[in-house]
Structure 1
């Protein structure tokens, strides 16, 4: 089971074991990680599961879809490494992934 580290804006780290096939958002919500609001429930209809993927991991998390890119337009501080965690599917290749969360979800 891949282990994912979510780091809050204040530096607090949360390591979770995530099942293959689930989204990063679902792994965070199921494990009580604060800062992933997931208002739309993973439908890519908001930006409240916004994370920053560590640069070394970007290629492994896949490309943003047009819909994800559009939704990131609602994020307060989108960056080149911004992703919606609902759009990243957990695989064994993501074991050790580190994502950071913004100061707040907007």
Structure 2
């Protein structure tokens, strides 16, 4: 299990425990965290689960695969160094302490 901090665009923080094997997106969905819409349900077919990863965590995450990279082009104000799709981040003990911030909106 990993404790993940989700920060809304307005600064409101939600700290939740997410079971291993779920995605960061599923953790947000299952805990009713606003700001991650996940319209495609986690199929990496949209960009509505886009977040900015805290700088301390960028290098600790697995690399971005080409499909995620393509979908990030459709995200609202993507940051080439910090943007990720939460549906592509599988939760494990290694993600304990992860901090992500939602953009102003999802598109």
TM-score bucket (shorter structure):
over 0.9
Tell me the TM-score normalized by structure 1. 0.97
- Does 1:21 pair with 2:25? no
CA deviation after TM superposition for structure 1 residue 56, in Å: 1.1
Gaps of 5+ in 2: none
Tell me the TM-score normalized by structure 2. 0.96
Q: Which runs of 4+ in 1 moved over 4 A?
A: none
Match of 1:48 in 2: 48
The CA deviation string for residues 37-59 of structure 1, in whole angstroms up to 9 with x for no partner, is 00000000000000001111112
Whole-Å Cα distance in 1 between the matches of residues 4 and 106 of structure 2? 20
Whole-Å Cα distance in 2 between the matches of residues 21 and 60 of structure 1? 17
The CA deviation string for residues 27-80 of structure 1, in whole angstroms up to 9 with x for no partner, is 000000001000000000000000001111112221111000000000120002
Match of 2:86 in 1: 85
Match of 2:36 in 1: 36
Match of 1:65 in 2: 65
Match of 1:76 in 2: 76
